[in-house]
Amino acid sequence: MAIKDRKRIDDHYSQKARKEGFPARSVYKLEEVDQKHKLLKPGQQVLDLGCAPGSWSLYAAGKVGLKGRVVGIDITPVPATFPPQVTILEADLLDADKALVTDLAPFDLVLSDMAPKTMGRREVDQARSLELCQMAWDWAQSLLKVGGHFLFKIFQSQEGDDFIRGLASHFDKIIRIKPKATRSGSLEIFVLAYKKSHN
């Protein structure tokens, strides 16, 4: 695709997010996966790792409704205003204790859109993304219900592929997704680990 066309698509998603009241265009990545795989339902408990500036938590809150709960955690403050079913916590997840959320567990869905601050050095960025995914899986492994789903973002790499393959024995299916709202040239893909099969 020509750079000009790709830029038009990027601008389209940013404008749409502003118009629809979401703080980031990344909401359309979650929306695309949710529409296709029907992940979010009324009454669910959702854990959103790396939630700032808050688009995924806001979207999830709309889907789970007032009888559900969304817990978002980020290392940076989250300035958005949320409905009452959302709880936002500030913590460095690489250093945080799961006890922070055990009262609210188990979860139907664990989301991680976490990304490291990119250094412009491909191998370093890939390794730091993998570290965040491994930590997110450590949380999902203890906090996700049997039958629940784990959706995470990863910068593609050989080691990342090995990690994704390692998840297969814990879930019914592993689905790799490149949503339309992903910026051109991005290393990121999303992985939907569908239906946790055991604890």
CA atoms within 13 A on the CB side of 89: 17
Q: What letter does residue 181 receive in the DSSP assignment? A: T
- Residue tagged 């992985």 (tokens): 191
Contact 140, 110 (CB under 8 A): yes
Q: Does 179 bind ligand SAM (CB under 6 A)?
A: no
- Tell me, yes or no, if 173 is annotated catalytic: no
Classify residue 32 as left (phi > 0), alpha (psi -120 to 50) or beta: alpha
Residue from 75, 104, 105, 177 in contact with ligand SAM (CB under 6 A): 75
Q: Does 109 bind ligand SAM (CB under 6 A)?
A: no
Q: Does 26 bind ligand SAM (CB under 6 A)?
A: yes
Measured from the CB atom, is 95 or 103 closer to ligand SAM?
Answer: 95
Q: Which of 153, 173, 180, 196 is catalytic?
A: 153
Task: Report the alpha-carbon angle 18-23-29, nearest 5.
Answer: 90
Q: Does 182 bind ligand SAM (CB under 6 A)?
A: no
Give catalytic residue positions.
Answer: 153
Binding footprint of ligand SAM on the chain (CB under 6 A): 23-24, 26-27, 50-56, 74-76, 92-94, 113-116, 132
